Amino acid sequence: MASMQEPTFLILTALATGPKHGYGVTREVAELSEGAVTLRAGTLYGALDRLVEQELVAVDRQEIVDGRLRRYYRLTDAGAARLAEQARRLRKHAAAAESRLQARPDSAFGLPGAFGAPA
């Protein structure tokens, strides 16, 4: 299966712990990415609409808060399977990169202790 864009991966990851409204997803994505990914409202809701269409995410419930509609989204079983598949793929690629970095003779990454290797 094709790779997933980082914001999509982080949105699915944010929803893995339970339903969240848009602002909750945005906050969790920022936390998961240590501030590297900041989702603007248009980007977030465009991605959520696409993920709902792909049946990776579903609308869990809606409520009115202070006169505004708040929609909660949840990860579907298909979304959880796709997220797990992507996480496995990323782990495999990260392991290959770490292995090759450790094998570099002229690099600090090749020294004992790099990436958890015994010193």
Domains of the chain in start order, with CATH, are 6-106 (1.10.10.10)
pLDDT in tens, 75-101: 999 999 999 999 999 999 999 998 888
What is the pLDDT confidence band of residue 112, given thresholds at 50, 70 and 90?
A: low
68: tokens are 């505004």
Q: In what order do the strands lie in the sheet with 20-21?
A: 20-21, 68-75, 57-65
**pTM higher than the cut 0.85:** no
Q: Is the pLDDT of residue 8 over 60?
A: yes
What's the one-letter identity of residue 26?
A: T
- Mean pLDDT for the chain? 90
Q: What is the pLDDT of residue 118?
A: 54
Share of the chain above pLDDT 90, in %: 73
Helix (H, G, I), strand (E, B) or coil at 50: helix
